[in-house]
Amino acid sequence: MIDPFGRRISYLRVSVTDRCDLRCVYCMAEDMTFLPKREVLTLEELDRLCGAFIGLGVEKIRLTGGEPLVRKNVLSLFRSLGARIGAGGLRELTVTTNGTQLGQMAEPLYAAGVRRINVSLDTLDPGLFHAVTRWGALEKVLDGIFAAKAAGLAVKINAVALKGVNEGEYDRMLAWCGEHGFDLCLIETMPMGDITGDRTDQYLPLSLVRSRLREHWTLEETDYRTGGPARYYAVKETGTRIGFITPMTHNFCESCNRVRLTCTGTLYMCLGQEDSADFRALLRDPSVDDAQLQAAIAAAIARKPKGHDFIIDRRHNRPSVGRHMSVTGG
């Protein structure tokens, strides 16, 4: 699939649920209203739609949420998609998780074909972790991370950079990741969805973070890529890598290779734009075959915009995009 700007679309991020067992302050309001079950695609519908994308050239699928591992029977979807890994199919199946369910799910994920996971972890301080997640217990997440490592999964730690919250944590986190062989990826907070509090006060440019880290670490440029938007540096002192995802300070849209599918069957061609295509009605129409489904996907890709319009709106204190990240797929 080639979009109007010549970019090959080979990466699909799929939200399997809008629900989560945490309430991270930059992602959700504490009192969330979740989707009724009838609006959410069944696992079989998600599998069929993913298969249509694979048939059109998608080589990498990442399952996300909300928290994907809280969805009942989600391992059946992992197993079905994992069976498509190989020549002419998927190159990689991955997952982004908050880690709370990894203690019991790491080995089944590996058995299903997953080899690499991202774990969202914004701090190593138990008190701060509870404050950021509102409900979470750090020890449970760390146990899950080490269960994943023991199962043979390569672990990357994702941390959202929050001004005045965890900006004193990054040296410690980089050292900890180096000790255990994990890559670390820092992410600028994005203006999506109404949350409790003022998001404008959370924004921390990663250009500043990178310059601070260089006071204590040797960061060497590398051409390492995972298929996503992160720009990676080798950390000389640890032998691991640190990545930076900078939707605010550096627009990475020129190399965008991905689209996002929500758990309701809505495809967003750009995370930072509202244009979308709805596939739920097509999936539930018995007269629509896979060829028609693929034609609808191709028509949506033909509308993919050049880039996003993220801004931090300090004057009106409102998000650039009204939907929550947990709805789109984090």
Residue 255's pLDDT is what?
75
Residue 5's pLDDT is what?
87
Mean pLDDT of 237-249: 88
How does residue 130 score in pLDDT terms, banded at 50, 70 and 90? very high
Question: Residue 302 in contact with residue 56, Cβ under 8 Å?
Answer: no
List for the chain the helix, strand, coil content (%; round to 5): 30, 20, 50
> At 295, which amino acid appears?
A
Please calculate the CA angle 313-4-308 and round it to the nearest 5 degrees.
Answer: 10
Mean pLDDT of 91-110: 98
Residue 31's contacts (CB-CB under 8 Å, 6 or more residues apart) are none
Mean pLDDT of the chain: 89
Q: How far apart, in whole angstroms, are the C-alpha atoms of residue 259 and residue 66? A: 17
Q: How far apart, in whole angstroms, are the C-alpha atoms of residue 156 and residue 227? A: 14
Residue 201's pLDDT is what?
72
pTM of the model: 0.88
| pLDDT of 309 strictly over 50 | yes
| pLDDT of 111 strictly over 70 | yes
| pLDDT of 98 strictly over 60 | yes
Query: What is the fold of 11-328?
Result: TIM Barrel (3.20.20)
What DSSP designation does 12 have?
A: E
Tokens, residue 89: 């199919």
Mean pLDDT of 190-194: 55
| pLDDT of 256 strictly over 60 | yes
Greater model confidence, 162 or 252 = 162
* Unique residue bearing structure tokens 């709106």: 313
Residue 32's pLDDT is what?
86
**What are the pLDDT digits (tens) for 27-73?**
888 888 899 999 999 999 999 999 999 999 999 999 999 999 999 99
How does residue 326 score in pLDDT terms, banded at 50, 70 and 90? low
Tokens, residue 232: 């990676």
Residue 225's pLDDT is what?
87
Q: How far apart, in whole angstroms, are the C-alpha atoms of residue 276 and residue 269? A: 6
Residue 152's pLDDT is what?
98
Tokens, residue 79: 């197993």
- Greatest pairwise CA separation for the chain in angstroms: 62
How does residue 122 score in pLDDT terms, banded at 50, 70 and 90? very high
> At 319, which amino acid appears?
P
Residue 272's pLDDT is what?
67
The answer, yes or no, to whether the previous bond of 66 is cis (omega within 30 of 0) is yes
Q: Is 104 helix (H, G, I), strand (E, B) or coil?
A: helix
Q: Is 148 helix (H, G, I), strand (E, B) or coil?
A: helix
How does residue 211 score in pLDDT terms, banded at 50, 70 and 90? very high
Residue 250's pLDDT is what?
52
